[in-house]
Each structure stands twice: as structure tokens, then as C-alpha cells.
Structure 1
């Protein structure tokens, strides 16, 4: 008997959530404040790293590279982690089933890096560290939007519960703004992102701010780079003439 999709989380998604939870537990309970600050300087994304006029950060050139991804495994609190996990489990699971483990891990890293790049472009020289998986999660939401609402897809009206639901033809970019369901999804995503500020980053002094530009960077990367990771280019092309209208 097949398990219900809600409880059938792919191993790669479950492993990423477990790693984030473990890191958060260590960060919150096992480290002294000065150690927490060092971890942030080593693994959070800090735009000031890339300003030659500011003092160097630990990690050097390698740190300048790895922090584009490692920041996504750190969270400001259990609430921050929990909200991200709630969003990541359904959307990450859908995309992981379609991409497979290694493509999904690469996709997670690329969308996290895209979020960091957008944050850097809009916060040049800033010393506040950005943490949280929201940019990569936004990328999975955008990627899921390309196939999840399609006929026979996991969120479509004629959905099925088998793996074929995650292998339906993807919606091309040209069709994204012509599908009412996708437009509704976009409206909800931007609304939630703006109003509730899903994903925050803490400053070294304890304040918090929403890194909404990083969310947009991750979302755009997931939407635009979907075809790079989609393992099914041989599937039939989406036929706009047979689309279910709503």
C-alpha cells in the first residue's frame, strides 16, 4: 500500500530538516554567546565580507564562498526554524521527488546562493549576518509552481498519488503568467513574504530584520533555472491549448 504523500517525505528533505534542527540545537544550547558570534562570522552571510575597506572576517577567501550556502543552515530561533520547516516539507518534497537527491541538493545550493547574491547587491557593506533557509525554500516554491498545478500533477485537479504526478510536463516560462492558479500562488507568496516576513536574520546586537530581497533572489532563481535541474527534458511539452482554465 502506498503511503500518503503528506507523510512520504523524501530522504534528502528529511535529512536537510534534521541537519538544520541539529545545528539549531547546538547553536542555541551548546554555545556560549562569544562562540555563537564566531559561528555567525564564519558561516552566516555577511555583506561586509566583500568590502575591502572593512576588517577581514574569519574563513578568508574560502569563507567568502561557503557562506553563500552555509547561512541557510543556521536559524535565529526555534520559531524561525519551525516556520521554514513547515514551508520546506511540502514544496521541497515535491521538487525533490522530481529532481532526485543530487539534483535537488545542487538546486538547494544554487537558490541559496542566489538569495545571498541578491542580499549582497542590496546590502553592500552591511555587517549584519543573514541566516535562514528561506531563500532556498522560496526557490523550491517557484520550482514547484512550474509543474505542481499541471494536469495530473500533485496539486492539479486531476492529481494522482503516485510518482508519475511529479513527472508531468512542466509549465514553460511563457505560460507562467497565463495560468490563473500560478498567478494566485504568486500573489499569496508575495503577500506572505511582505506581511509576515517569513525568514529573518539576526544582528550581532540581537535585533532582527526580514531579508526579503534574499527571498526574491531565491524565488527568481528557482523559477528561471528550473530547466537546468529538471531531469525530464524528454517529456511532452506543455500544451497551452489543452490547459484547464480557471
Structure 2
């Protein structure tokens, strides 16, 4: 209420209509959409080949992408290009749908943030993919180093996904954001490496560490070289 001689308050302004919500895939960088499509397509073809086909594609993918150490490397060979091809192609080979979907979830969640500083042009996409596969290669290398005398086959996008985890922290919160996201995860993985001989879990902890460390250290350099130019 207003008393005599007092101006009445102005009428409330019309509320602004809420901005239309954009479809979730519109917010994802093209590089992430392309990478996700490749991971899904490779696993779908692998599953179909192993379950309903003649198994030829499955065997070819295992030969191309499975990172072998120890006795498995002796039996199957190290893979094309002296083992160099599996060191990078293992991101497209997964041991079941749950394995693939878990890794894909991390790629989508953290990769979207990590890819944005690279922009949407071809140069930026190339830089993002180089970073992604650098994390994968580092993860495969550390796995092979730690398990050279053990019989293993490692596969999955988790090596590179761990690099995207750290990169997402860099992209959203700088060094502090990266450390907040990555240091607890790194500590957990180091603990798991130490106790895994008693647990014997089918998880490539050392591969995860290699990818994570690469993301923690190398992401700013990749963005500096391939990221969007400002000014």
C-alpha cells in the first residue's frame, strides 16, 4: 500500500521468456561427436562379428588394437607396425558393452569441455585428436612397461579418457581445477597398482595412470599450439 502523496511503485516488468533449451548434442564439439560415433561403431561391428558373423572383423580388430604383453605377445605377436598400431588403436576395442559405455561416458562428460578450447575448425579437431591419442599412447606404453613379463591383453578407451578427465579440469578451472579433479584420481590409481597383485582386478590401472599424467602435463601445450587464436 502507498500513503497520500507517495508515488505508486512501477508495475512489475514482464518476465523474460526462458531461453529455449538447446539439444544436448548441439553443445558437443564436432570432434567429440565424431570420436563417440567411431567408438560406438567399432564396438557394434565387433559385437556383431563375434556374436552373429564369422568372427573375421572381431579377429582383425583384436589383432590391430589389442595391446599384448608377455606370453600373449609371444603367442599373438605384438601387432601391426611392431606394436605401434595397438598402442593407439586400442581405444576402439572393448570387452563388452558395459566396458564401452563406461568409457564413452567419461569421453562425453570430460571430452566435451576439453575439446572446446580447440575450436570447431579442422586444425582444432586435429589438435584435439592428437592430444587424445597421445594420452592413449602414453597409457599403452606405461602398461607395457609394467607388465612386460606378464601375459595381458589391454584394450579400451580408458587410457585416453583419463587424459580427458584431467583436460576437462584444465578447461573448466585452470591448474587448480585440474588438480582438484586429477590428484584424488591419481592417488586412488597408485593405491590400486600397489594392491592389485592381491585383488587381480581386470583393470589396466597403469594404463589409466599414463593417460591421466599425460593429460595433467601436456594439455596446456596442445591448446597453446592448436587452440582457438584470441586477439
CA distance in 1, matches of 2:45, 2:229: 45
Segments of 4+ moved more than 6 angstroms: 194-197, 233-236
2:80 is aligned with 1:80: no
Aligned length: 196
CA distance in 2, matches of 1:193, 1:137: 14
Radius of gyration: which is bigger?
2
CA distance in 1, matches of 2:131, 2:111: 10
Provide the residue aligned with 2:138 in structure 1.
114
Provide the residue aligned with 1:152 in structure 2.
none
Which ranges of structure 1 fall in alignment gaps of 5 or more residues? 150-170, 198-206, 237-246
Provide the residue aligned with 1:95 in structure 2.
114
2:131 is aligned with 1:138: no
CA distance in 1, matches of 2:217, 2:113: 18
Displacement, 1:234?
Answer: 7.6
Provide the residue aligned with 1:17 in structure 2.
36
CA RMSD of aligned residues (A): 3.4
CA distance in 2, matches of 1:190, 1:2: 39
Which ranges of structure 2 fall in alignment gaps of 5 or more residues? 1-18, 119-123, 194-199
CA distance in 2, matches of 1:126, 1:34: 27
8 Å contact kept, 1:111–1:218: yes
CA distance in 2, matches of 1:229, 1:109: 12
Displacement, 1:90?
Answer: 2.2
CA distance in 1, matches of 2:192, 2:95: 16
Over residues 19-59 of structure 1, what are the superposed CA-to-partner deviations in whole Å (9 max), with x where a residue is unaligned?
A: 111111111122368643553233211124997xx356274
For 2:151, what is the secondary structure of its paired residue? Answer: coil
The 1:26/1:96 distance shift into structure 2, 3 A limit, reads same
Q: Which has the higher helix share?
A: 2
8 Å contact kept, 2:192–2:205: no
Provide the residue aligned with 1:43 in structure 2.
65
2:85 is aligned with 1:66: yes
